[in-house]
Amino acid sequence: MLASAVGSPPLPSERAGRSRRGRELPWRAGMAAAAEVLLVALALLASSASAAGPVDEDTVTAVAAELRCVVCQNLSVADSPSETARQMRDIVRERLALGETPEQVMAYFVDKYGTWILLSPPRQGFTLLVWVAPFAVLLLGLGMVAVLVRRWSPRAGAPAAPGAAIDPGTQARIRREVAETDR
């Protein structure tokens, strides 16, 4: 596919070069032909790369990391050494090579296995709760702590709680006993 794309463009531009050389402009015609060849080749390369070019392994790994390995417990397809995971990585690579986007590849697996196959639950519908609930509960807890701390701390100007002052007799006894243990 790629070889034929690169091999074919020189033909029409050679013809163009020859016809221009006939009009006595060899240098310019040569440059124009070369530029033409380059442009056509680049355009062809670009189009073939987006349609069915070599696949970036990082993309394969990124997609595989989002997919749950079906025969493992809580391992991604990227991390699992199992045969099934290897085959699933091959399928990911194959589909990307056919020009599918990473989202389309994941949609294919969701189609076959349900959202179970995704390691991170989708951020919509019921599973959005999984993403939002921890933060909501954390905020609620922080709010409760703030309210309780404010309630428990003594208010400025409030009279000291009764019994806070120690009577002189007990104080003397504490001093005596501390002194004894120090000796």
Partner 1 sequence: MSARRTWLRWAVPLAVLPVLGLLAYGFRTDPRDIPSPLVGKPAALFTLKAFDGSEVSLESLRGQVVVLNFWASWCYPACYEEAPALERAWLRFKDRGAVFVGINIQDKDEPARRFLDQFNLRFANAPDAGGRVAVDYGVYGVPETYFIDRSGRIRLKHVGAVREDFLAEQIERLLAEAS
Which positions ≥6 away from 62 have C-beta within 8 Å? 102
User: What mask of x and - would describe binding to partner 1 in positions 58 to 77, judged by CB under 8 A?
Assistant: ------------xx------
Judge residue 88's burial from the number of C-beta atoms within 10 Å of its C-beta, 0-12 exposed, 13-18 middle, 19 or more buried.
buried
Contact 77, 92 (CB under 8 A): yes
User: What mask of x and - would describe binding to partner 1 in positions 110 to 149, judged by CB under 8 A?
Assistant: -xxxx-x---------------------------------
The footprint of partner 1 on this chain (CB under 8 A) covers a number of residues equal to 14
Query: Rg (Cα) of the chain, in Å, rounded?
Result: 38
The CB-of-57 to partner 1 minimum distance in angstroms stands at 18
Question: Is 91 a residue that touches partner 1 (CB under 8 A)?
Answer: yes
Distance separating alpha carbons of residues 91 and 117, to the nearest angstrom: 14
Nearer to partner 1, 29 or 85 (CB): 85
Q: Which residues make up the interface to partner 1 (CB under 8 A)?
A: 70-71, 83-84, 87-88, 90-91, 109, 111-114, 116
